[in-house]
Amino acid sequence: MVYQATASAPVNIACIKYWGKRDTKLILPTNSSLSVTLSQDHLRSTTTSRADPSFSKDRLWLNGKEEEIVAPGRLATCIAELKKLRKELVEDKDASAPKLSTFPVHIASFNNFPTAAGLASSASGFAALVSSLAALYALPCSPSTLSLIARQGSGSACRSLFGGYVAWEQGVLDDGSDSLAVEVAPRSHWPEMHALICVVSDDKKGTSSTSGMQRTVQTSELLQHRIKHVVPKRMKEIEAAIKAKDFDAFAKVTMADSNQFHAVALDTEPPIFYMNDVSRSIIALIVEYNRVAIEKTGKRKAAYTYDAGPNAVIYTLQENVKEIVELIVKYFPQKDGFKDPFQLFAGGSVGEGRVVEGFNEAVAKKFEVGAVKGLIHTNVGDGPRVLGAEEALLGPDGLPKSLA
């Protein structure tokens, strides 16, 4: 008998940013946060887990390379928590259930996009790990319960247990049992939400989120203001905007919160800079694009947001994506053609790009080819998926197929 399961999980990009922990071991945040889950059709982590009494120890391969599982590290904690749930919720209740909690596991995972480049690989990665082990162990758990475990792998990972629009409620309890992800609205509520990711750099980043945010907690006074007076109000505003499908309000709060996250990074001692000249020019383009839109219709049409790196994520409604791709390509000429998953250009190419009528072209300079290395067009997506045996990443010998 082979005990094995495969799952995939999505990336999420926060509109209200998580930045700061009140408990670094349990990964309990200093503020609530909210994100949009992006489609797994474009960006995903896929993970296969197998339990077998003949394995000598728990082992994990990420993109074909073995990673150490060292207790009490994050990987070891997540695996141990899931084994504990298997024992308590399945084996202790049903004497005939195989004692999978006592078997070592082999885990193989693959990210179909750059790992540790500020594209939230830790979020989709830990969500896929938790989802595949939960499927292997047949855990009767809700996504919110599983989010409690994914959170201990990487905070932002807890939000990837749901599709659509997701809040991570910070919670107040010391044991973290109320610090979990909840669905604000499913994908189907507002499926017109699209995202354009401008890959400015796919290098490993300078200051990791984990170390950067703790330096901010220790040194930034502005962070305390943000936690007490800004985020609670913004969480309410953005939830209301999502429920009402009010893109203008959604965009206003999203951009303000990205700005404030980078302001608290700058307010850290020594200061942390995640955005670069390219990032700032993309902001200038979106600000001008919105100025024209507001002049015509009174409403914003795009929202930029930046995580702990220079890559821009631009949220917009489906009807505006084409204009925005043309705008970005005009200022950031592309080496490779735009992969057009939604057929915006009906099989043709983007060409030289262009700006909308009334746009002040002087707000940014034209950059060299390669300043924006690539554009990824995606949309709001669903939560983790359990996949069939044909998608498994482990071979019959229990080792990654990529190594065979």
Ligand X SMILES: Nc1ncnc2c1ncn2[C@@H]1O[C@H](COP(=O)(O)OP(=O)(O)OP(=O)(O)O)[C@@H](O)[C@H]1O
Ligand Y SMILES: C[C@@](O)(CCOP(=O)(O)OP(=O)(O)O)CC(=O)O
State which residue, 147 or 209, has the beta carbon closest to ligand Y: 209
User: 278: closest CA among 228, 338, 328?
Assistant: 328
CB of 158 to ligand Y, least distance (A): 9
Residue 109 contact partner, candidates ligand Y, ligand X, none, CB within 5 to 8 A by sort of partner: ligand X
Residue nearest to ligand Y (CB): 155
Tell whether residue 387 is a contact of ligand X (CB under 6 A).
no
Tell whether residue 193 is a contact of ligand X (CB under 6 A).
no
State which residue, 35 or 281, has the beta carbon closest to ligand X: 35
Tell whether residue 156 is a contact of ligand X (CB under 6 A).
yes
CA-CA-CA-CA dihedral for 49, 50, 53, 59, to nearest 10 = -40
Question: If you write DSSP's letter for every residue of 146-197 in order, what string do you get?
Answer: HHHHHTTT-GGGGGGGSSSEEEEE----TT-TT-EEEEEE-GGGSTTEEEEE
For the chain, the straight-line distance linking the first and the last C-alpha, in angstroms and rounded, comes to 22
CB of 134 to ligand Y, least distance (A): 20
Site for ligand X in 233-292 (CB under 6 A): none
State which residue, 137 or 331, has the beta carbon closest to ligand X: 137
CB of 124 to ligand X, least distance (A): 7
**How far is residue 260's CA from residue 248's CA, in Å, rounded to a whole number?**
18
3-state SS, residue 37: strand
**How far is residue 315's CA from residue 317's CA, in Å, rounded to a whole number?**
7
**How far is residue 63's CA from residue 375's CA, in Å, rounded to a whole number?**
22
CB of 96 to ligand Y, least distance (A): 38
| Sign of the alpha-carbon torsion through 289, 294, 297, 301 | positive
Tell whether residue 129 is a contact of ligand X (CB under 6 A).
yes
Residue 111 contact partner, candidates ligand X, ligand Y, none, CB within 5 to 8 A by sort of partner: ligand X
Quick note: the x/- pattern for ligand X over 196-215, rule CB under 6 A, is ------------xx------
State which residue, 30 or 156, has the beta carbon closest to ligand Y: 156
* Side-chain-facing half-sphere of 212: CA atoms under 13 Å: 22
Among 28, 79, 85, 117, binds ligand X (CB under 6 A): 117
Residue 360: C-alpha distances to residues 266, 287, 291, 367 (Å): 29, 11, 10, 17
Give the number of residues in contact with ligand X, rule: CB under 6 A.
Answer: 22
Q: Which residues pair with 165 in a beta bridge?
A: 36, 185
Site for ligand X in 298-317 (CB under 6 A): 307-308
**Chain residues that interact with ligand Y, rule: CB under 6 A:** 14, 17-19, 27, 33, 122, 154-156, 209-210, 307-308
Residue 27 contact partner, candidates ligand X, ligand Y, none, CB within 5 to 8 A by sort of partner: ligand Y
Tell whether residue 145 is a contact of ligand X (CB under 6 A).
no
Helices assigned H by DSSP within 172-299: 209-219, 221-225, 231-243, 247-266, 277-297
**How far is residue 104's CA from residue 95's CA, in Å, rounded to a whole number?**
20
Which tokens sit at 391? Answer: 């998608």
State which residue, 62 or 302, has the beta carbon closest to ligand X: 62
State which residue, 19 or 331, has the beta carbon closest to ligand Y: 19
Residue 14 contact partner, candidates ligand Y, ligand X, none, CB within 5 to 8 A by sort of partner: ligand Y
CB of 130 to ligand Y, least distance (A): 14
Identify whether the C-beta of residue 361 lies closer than 8 Å to the C-beta of residue 285.
no
Among the residue ranges 113-121, 236-244, 312-320, 351-359, the one whose residues contact ligand X (CB under 6 A): 113-121
**How far is residue 237's CA from residue 34's CA, in Å, rounded to a whole number?**
11
CB of 40 to ligand X, least distance (A): 13
Which tokens sit at 63? Answer: 């993109």
Residue 292 contact partner, candidates ligand Y, ligand X, none, CB within 5 to 8 A by sort of partner: none
For ligand X, the binding residues (CB under 6 A) are 45, 62, 109, 111, 115-123, 125-126, 128-129, 156, 208-209, 307-308
